[in-house]
Chains A and B, each alone.
Chain A
Amino acid sequence: MTEFLQQVVSGLASGGIYGSLALAVVLIYRSTGVVNFAQGEMATLSAFVCWTFMDHGVAFWPAFALTLVLSFFGGVAVETVFVRPVQGAPTLAIVILTIGLLIMVNGLTTWIWGGAAKPFDGPFSTEPIDVGGVRFSKQDLGVIVVSLIVIALMWLLFSRTKLGLGLRAAAVNPIESRLVGVRVAWMLALGWGLAAVLGAVAGVMAAPSLFLDPNMMQTVLLYAFAAAVLGGMDSPVGAVVGGLLLGVLLNLVGTYIDWVGGQLRLATALAVILVVLLVRPAGLFGRQAVQRV
Chain B
Amino acid sequence: MRPTLAAKWVAVVAGTAIVIALPFVVSQFRAVQLATVAVYFIAIVGLDILTGYSGQISLGHGALMAVGGYTTGILMTHHGWPDLATIPVAALVGGAVGVAVGIPALRLHGLYLALATFGVAVALPTILKKFDHFTGGSTGLSLFSHLTGHGVGVTILGHRLTNNDWLYALTWSIAIPLFLLAWWLVSSAFGRSIRAVRDNELAAAASGVNRATYKVAAFGVSAAYAGVAGALYAVVSTFVNPDTFPITLSLYLLVGAVVGGYGSIWGAALGALLIQFLDDIVDVLPGIDPKQAGPRTFFFGAVLVVVMIVLPLLTRLTNRVYTRS
Contacts and interface: CB of A to CB of B under 8 A. Distances in A.
**Direct contact between A and B in the complex (CB less than 8 angstroms)?**
yes
B295 interface: yes
Given A95-B114, A107-B294, A229-B115, A90 B321 contact: yes
A91 B292 contact: no
B119 A107 contact: no
A273 B119 contact: yes
Q: Chain B binding site: helix, strand, loop or mixed by DSSP?
A: helix
Interface residues of A, number: 50
Contact of A267 (B116, B123, B302, B307): B123
B118 interface: yes
Contacts of A264: 126-127, 130
A100 B304 contact: yes
Interface string B288-304: 00001111111111111
B115 A92 contact: no
A278 B109 CA distance: 11
B5 interface: no
Given A97-B309, A263-B129, A274-B104, A107 B114 contact: no
A105 B301 contact: yes
Given A99-B254, A269-B119, A92 B55 contact: yes
A82 B312 CA distance: 13
A8 to B, nearest CB: 23
A266 B114 contact: no
B190 interface: no
A18 interface: no
Contact of B51 (A35, A92, A104): A92
Most buried by A among B254, B301, B304: B301
Contacts of A92: 51, 55, 57, 110, 321
A69 interface: no
Contacts of B296: 107
A264 B123 CA distance: 8
Q: Which 8 A-B pairs have the closest CB atoms?
A: A111-B294, A104-B301, A107-B298, A103-B301, A107-B297, A100-B304, A110-B294, A100-B305
